[in-house]
Amino acid sequence: MTSNDTNPVPDRDQVLAALDHVRDPKSGRGLAEAGLVQGLVIAPGRAGFMLEAPADQVELYASLRDAAEKVLLGVAGVERAQVVLTTQDAPGAPPTADAYRVESRARGGLPDAAKAVPPSGGHGHAHKPAPRPQPVPFVKRVVAVASGKGGVGKSTVAVNLAVALARGGLRVGLMDADIYGPSVPRMLGLKAQPKINADKKMIPLEAFGLKTVSIGFIVDEGSPMIWRGPMASSAITQFITDVVWGEPGDELDVLVVDMPPGTGDVQLTMAQKVKVDGAVIVSTPQEVALIDVRRGAGMFRKTDVPILGVVENMAYFPDPATGAPIPIFGRGGAKAVAVELGVPFLGEVRIDMALREACDAGRPLVEADPTGEVAGVFAAIAEQVARAIGY
């Protein structure tokens, strides 16, 4: 089994057979036979999967993770092994979002030893006050780009906003927190895998002036992301704590976070663990999307995250003959909701063929056509956001 890539694609049957040499201590069966190999990813030169463990047996399964990575590296064609250790909480227990670790080891690369991140200790400690949100190391400001529902072009706005901020002279990072639909790698044309330094921290990939991290760098583009809520939250926790966003004297001015749609575990993890300096909410004009804008705004307000403003995406389609706006999804709904919520309206982005083509081509429109009308809209939005967070 081969690929156009320089590395061969490992044989799936050989991978599963190798993993069955590692025994589940509870059932005595091999990992694949026991159903513990979840989300198996096989790609040129690499293989990996998710290993779910009981919350009170993380240390035991950490050794199995190490053994699984070792046998994967023994399969023909596997030069890099990645195993994600997650936990399943006991029924009725609060989520344990910290027992998660991504390790990436290659032959001759990082050391084999790796410790699991211990559970957060949430069980039985309900009397303790929740920890205050903390700044991201070496990041001065954090801006979340969010939407109440999917399909409104949130990632398109996040990517072009981040690049526009960088073009404005700021040092910018982009964290793709849309765990279930990571599209940032495609939009930035990034295909490489991030490196891991000696401290086992991920080094972001760079493109168009952005330091970027995405779960899409680790998993295949076509693989379904079937993750429990705590697993997704834990991935975000690692993107915050185990990524080299900056260093003394070279801090990021702003980290733009492309959030998943909705108001679920990932959003709460961000609000509770990270000092978010503001949120930009993206919506299309129609009422079915605006209902979710109100929900999203309510979540941010309950978690004390300032709302920097609302962006109306797909605001209209310009008539090819006359240029007159055709309100395919209605018009002005997001602006009206911004007024209703008492937050700034940052601007409207039209339906634009060049914008779609730029996203697919992996070169953001504000970089591909910086003097164009749509790029000018993103530049104006970026200027307002920068001013709102103190730049």
Work out the pLDDT band at 347, boundaries 50, 70, 90. very high
Q: Is the pLDDT of residue 56 over 90?
A: no
Write the CB contacts of 62 (distance below 8 Å, at least 6 apart in sequence).
85, 101, 114, 115, 116
Work out the pLDDT band at 69, boundaries 50, 70, 90. confident
Residues 97 and 147 in one domain: no
In DSSP terms, 54 is beta-bridged to 88
Maximum pairwise Cα distance, the chain: 71
Q: Which of 21-30, 31-40, 363-372 has the highest mean pLDDT?
A: 363-372
> Does 213 fall in a domain?
yes
Look at residue 65 in the predicted model and tell me its pLDDT.
82
Give the torsion sign (CA, 353, 355, 360, 361). positive
Look at residue 295 in the predicted model and tell me its pLDDT.
81
CA–CA separation, 316 vs 325, rounded Å? 6
Using alpha carbons, list the distances in angstroms from residue 383 to 17, 69, 121, 165: 55, 46, 42, 7
Residue with the larger pLDDT of the pair 129 and 174: 174
Task: Tell how strand 195-196 and strand 202-203 pair up.
Answer: antiparallel
Alpha helices in the chain (DSSP H): 12-19, 58-72, 154-167, 184-188, 229-241, 265-273, 287-302, 333-341, 353-361, 365-368, 373-388
Range of the domain at 31: 12-106
Q: Is 297 exposed, middle or buried (0-12, 13-18, 19+ CB in 10 A)?
A: buried
pLDDT tens sequence across 170-190: 999 999 987 666 789 999 999
pLDDT tens sequence across 353-387: 999 999 999 999 999 999 999 999 999 999 999 99
Q: DSSP characters for 187-224?
A: HHT--SPPEE-TTS-EEPEEETTEEEEEGGGTS-TTS-
What type of residue sits at position 336? A
> Does 263 fall in a domain?
yes
Look at residue 301 in the predicted model and tell me its pLDDT.
85
Residue with the larger pLDDT of the pair 27 and 163: 163
Residues 205 and 270 in one domain: yes
Output the six-digit token pair for 246: 């900056």
The total number of structural domains in the chain stands at 2
Average pLDDT on 238-253 reads 88
| CATH assignment of the domain containing 42 | 3.30.300.130
> Does 169 fall in a domain?
yes
Q: Is the pLDDT of residue 100 over 70?
A: no
pLDDT tens sequence across 253-264: 999 999 887 665
Percent share of the chain, pLDDT over 70: 78
Residues 245 and 384 in one domain: yes
